[in-house]
Amino acid sequence: MRSKNEKENIYILSDESGSWHEKEGVYLRSWVAIFEKDYQDLKNIISKLNKGLEFKELKWSKVVKNKDASECLKDSFDFRVFITLSSPKEIKWDKKYKITKHFNEITDKLNFGDLSESVIISIKKKIYDDICNILFLNLYELFHIENSYKRIKEYIKGDDYNLIYKIDNPQFLDNSYKELIRDIVNPKEIKIIKKSEKEEGVQFADVIAGCIRSIILEDENHEIAKQFYQEIIKNKFIQNKETSFINPNFIFHNEMNQKTERQIKKLWKL
């Protein structure tokens, strides 16, 4: 039992759908804010659901094939969700940043000794990909974290709580990702979840992210996704239309293609 002076825990559960370097579609991240009591209910419900339906873990790809999973999640616990997204295919790496724009010019000056051309090409590709990964983390992912935190703070209100972040294994170095969260949020605890089957919270975050992505991309599951969204997610969106941080939230709006933007506007009308 919590003492009078002990702060309540609020969990921030997050998973991404898509890749930061994806050539098609979007990189989308769900941020689920849930108070401790509801978090325990979430864990119990998803644990029972997985056992009953013989799932190793709950994923969006399994929810779309099993209506019972959706029914179990409906009105079972309270939570709020904020969505952030980027459009990686719209990032002009060869034009936007000097280090990538002049990459060939820079690396051509390096002395690779007697290495074969094929090895040099492989090394250069690795260096280039790593540079883009670091840029995405520190320029794009930074705003995924910061914008979601600002909106979650509006929902929570006040400071009498402990924030505990649980993040499904990110597409970046764990320590770098943790440092970024600490710099922006400074929560009580940050846990990187390597095996999502052992953490029901990030399983739920996966379902949310997968659902929204299906709607935006209009994939083969988008009709099921729209129903799931309307029944389970819609009323839980953290939304304040008076601010620039509408939900879902574009990261670098000028790099969002028109088709994706139209799909998101359709989502608001569901």
Q: How far apart are CA 176 and CA 15, in angstroms?
A: 17
pLDDT at 160 over 80: yes
Residue 128 forms part of a structural domain: no
Residue 134 forms part of a structural domain: no
Q: How far apart are CA 123 and CA 34, in angstroms?
A: 44
Confidence of residue 136 (pLDDT cuts 50, 70, 90): very high
What angle in degrees, to the nearest 10, is found between the helix axes of 36-53 and 200-217?
Answer: 80
User: For residue 217, what are the domain limits?
Assistant: 8-89+144-269
* 191-198 long-range contacts, CB within 8 A, separation 24+: 191/164, 191/165, 191/166, 191/167, 192/167, 193/166, 193/167, 193/168, 193/169, 194/169, 196/15, 196/57, 196/168, 196/169, 197/56, 197/57
Residue 121 forms part of a structural domain: no
Contact 59, 45 (CB under 8 A): no
Residue 107 forms part of a structural domain: no
Mean pLDDT, residues 242-249 taken together: 73
Mean pLDDT, residues 31-50 taken together: 95
Residue 96 forms part of a structural domain: no
Confidence of residue 243 (pLDDT cuts 50, 70, 90): low
User: Residue 161 belongs to what H/E stretch?
Assistant: strand 161-168
Lowest average pLDDT, out of 3-17, 103-117, 127-141, goes to: 3-17
> Which pair of structure tokens corresponds to residue 91?
């990032």
Residue 129 forms part of a structural domain: no
Residue 72 forms part of a structural domain: yes
* Bridging pattern class, strands 80-86 and 249-250: parallel
pLDDT at 249 over 60: yes
CATH number at residue 199: 3.30.420.10
Nearby residues of 28 by Cβ (< 8 Å), 6 or more positions away: 16, 17, 18, 83, 84, 85, 209, 212, 213, 216, 248
**pLDDT tens, residue by residue, 57-67:** 999 999 999 88
pLDDT at 158 over 80: no
Residue 186, sorted as left (phi over 0), alpha (psi -120 to 50) or beta, turns out to be: left
Of 116, 34, 111, the C-alpha closest to 76 is: 34
Specify the pTM: 0.91
Residue 13 forms part of a structural domain: yes
Number of domains in the chain: 1
pLDDT at 241 over 60: no
Chain mean pLDDT for the chain: 90
pLDDT at residue 230, rounded to an integer: 93
